[in-house]
Amino acid sequence: MELTITPKAQEWFKRELELAEGQGIKFYGKVYGKTQVHDGFSVGMSVDTPESPLIEEIVSGMMFFVEESDEWFFKGYDLVVDYDERLEEPKYEFLKEDSNL
């Protein structure tokens, strides 16, 4: 799994969220909603402290991560976090992991 945060999404997170030392932005699967690859689940996001990260990315000093306990939700996919200018909020795109690995 790869986790990509676009520059526009990064700007939104910096503007909207305050992180204490050791905290980051956690992405997880939550009940209700829909993604392009899940029916009945959507992407949740919260400010949290990682316990057992599956993946962790540091972008411009901000930590973004997914916990091992949420592997079921992201398994087989890379997550791209972008910014929806019309809705003025993050948007999420699932890309099939490279099967050549």
Any domain includes 8: yes
Supply 29's token pair: 């699967």
Any domain includes 84: yes
Any domain includes 9: yes
Give me the sheet containing 77-84, strands edge to edge: 3-5, 77-84, 89-96
Any domain includes 47: yes
Distance of alpha carbon 35 from alpha carbon 39, whole angstroms? 7
Any domain includes 83: yes
- Above 90 in pLDDT, residue 23? yes
| Range of the structural domain that residue 51 is part of | 3-96
How many domains does the chain divide into? Answer: 1
CA dihedral 91, 34, 95, 51 (to 10 degrees): 80
Low-confidence winner among 9-23, 27-41, 59-73, 81-95 (lowest mean pLDDT): 27-41
Any domain includes 101: no
pTM for this prediction? 0.88
Element (H, E) at 53: strand 53-59
80: domain CATH number is 2.60.300.12
pLDDT tens figures, 42-60:
888 999 999 999 999 999 8
